Amino acid sequence: MEDLEHLAKEWYLLAILGVVSIVAGVLAIAYPDITLLVVGIIFGIYLLIAGIYAIVEAITGDPTSRSLAAITGILGLIAGLVCLRRPGASLLAVVIVLGIYLIVTGVARLVRAFGASEGRGWQIVAALADIVLGILILVIPDISLVTLAVLFGISLIVRGVFSCVGAFQLRRVHKDVAPPIGAEPA
């Protein structure tokens, strides 16, 4: 319960991640003909934020899923740095990085979903969506940038919605646990 209370205090980080994810997803879908440079930068920033969040979760989260969160976080940081370092160098490199990232994070989410007591079904759906999109991206690497942008945009929007929903659930937990204003500490 103590870990949940700690995470609940930081609910806004998950909300920020969700909003950034939704905005990045909408932009990827709205401007599919965007250059690889801009797409790489948007995805690189998202992956860095997602990686940082996963590392924070690994440090402060449930001990049973810390290793998965740490692996996901490190992979997110590496993928984000690769996208930021060479955003326009090679579509194939971005495709491979994003495909692998989606598969690994999807598998990690799937494993965590089976341990969840609430919202398991939605977590499984989100995890499977990431895995399927990641496999599609890796199996058909010569798909156009437009298709890649739309597929990853859909994934970002789905992730963003789930992050925002989770953030507001954590906010509710934080309000339930926090002492009322003016109350004396126990």
| 79 in a structural domain | yes
| 6 in a structural domain | yes
Per the listing, tokens 């990690």 go with: 108
131: domain range?
Answer: 2-175
The pTM of the whole model exceeds 0.85: no
Q: Which DSSP string do the residues of 45-102 spell out, in sequence order?
A: HHHHHHHHHHHHHHHHS-GGGHHHHHHHHHHHHHHHHHHHHSTTT-HHHHHHHHHHHH
| 184 in a structural domain | no
| 185 in a structural domain | no
Number of domains comprising the chain: 1
| 181 in a structural domain | no
User: Any idea what the CATH number is for the domain that residue 146 is in?
Assistant: 1.25.40.600
| 149 in a structural domain | yes
Cβ–Cβ < 8 Å for 72, 47:
no
Mind listing the pLDDT tens digit for each residue in 21-64? 999 888 878 877 665 567 678 778 888 999 999 999 899 887 77
Mind listing the pLDDT tens digit for each residue in 72-126? 899 989 988 888 887 766 566 767 878 898 999 999 989 988 887 777 888 899 8
| 120 in a structural domain | yes
What CA–CA distance (Å, rounded) separates 1 from 171?
A: 15
| 95 in a structural domain | yes
